[in-house]
Amino acid sequence: MNNEFLFAIFDLSKNIKHIKMKTKFNYLILFVIIIIATLISCEKKIDIEKEKQSLLKTDIEFSKYSEKYGQIKSFLHYADEKATIFRPNSMPIVSKKEIEKLYHAKCDTSFTLTWNPLFAEVSQSSDIGYTYGLWQLKEKNEFGKEISDEGTYVTIWKKQSDSTWKWTLDIGNKGLKKPVENFKE
């Protein structure tokens, strides 16, 4: 450092002592505001389209897992700890532990359940999202003939602390028909 710079700093420090306390406080407030504004502007921007694609990819992988390992393993593998599942003629089954109990005595080797997501949406904070699409169930009847059923589904997803998606609510409807036009209650 050169001597002129040191003298300038020394001179400035002598002058600061003469500044009124109120002015020092104002400078401190200004400094804090600048720091906060800097931190806010550095906040990570979320790419919603990228998050939607990530969610669609997860739902597709979920279906492939079901096709390869069975519906039970798939649903348990991709379930959030607080997952809720809806089934016909039943109250909602709440929590992964309760869903495990539901599936415990069931076998899924006689059928294959797959689905295809048609749409995904993600919240602005990208911590929750949903997908909907079409499902298909294939099985063999008592004569060995393959039969299938189909329908629609909605799955609500929650992003985990490791940035993976786990489903937190799942519901499906059996059957596919064209929507009724001008539906009135």
Q: What is the pLDDT of residues 127-167, one digit of tens each?
A: 999 999 999 999 888 888 888 999 999 999 999 999 999 99
| Mean pLDDT computed over 101-108 | 86
Contact 80, 170 (CB under 8 A): no
Task: Return the higher-pLDDT residue of 17 and 174.
Answer: 174
pLDDT of residue 3: 58
pLDDT of residue 179: 61
Task: Return the higher-pLDDT residue of 128 and 37.
Answer: 128
CA 96/CA 94 separation, integer angstroms? 7
Contact 157, 51 (CB under 8 A): no
pLDDT of residue 33 exceeding 80, the answer is no
Write out the two tokens for 77: 């593998």
pLDDT of residue 88: 83
Measured in degrees and rounded to the nearest 5, phi and psi for residue 171 equal: -150, 140
Which residues lie across from 112 on neighbouring strands? 138
CA 128/CA 166 separation, integer angstroms? 10
Greatest mean pLDDT range, 3-7, 104-108, 110-114 = 110-114
What DSSP line would sit under 38-60, residue for residue?
Answer: HHHHTSPPP-HHHHHHHHHHHHH
Which residues lie across from 176 on neighbouring strands? none
CA 185/CA 116 separation, integer angstroms? 31
pLDDT by residue (tens digit) across 48-59?
999 999 999 999
| Mean pLDDT computed over 95-101 | 95
CA 86/CA 183 separation, integer angstroms? 25
Task: Return the higher-pLDDT residue of 70 and 33.
Answer: 70
Contact 46, 125 (CB under 8 A): yes
Q: How far is CA 166 from the centre of its chain?
A: 7
> 42 falls in which pLDDT band (50, 70, 90)?
low
Mean pLDDT of the chain: 84
Write out the two tokens for 161: 């602390």
68 φ/ψ sector (left φ>0, alpha ψ -120 to 50, else beta): alpha
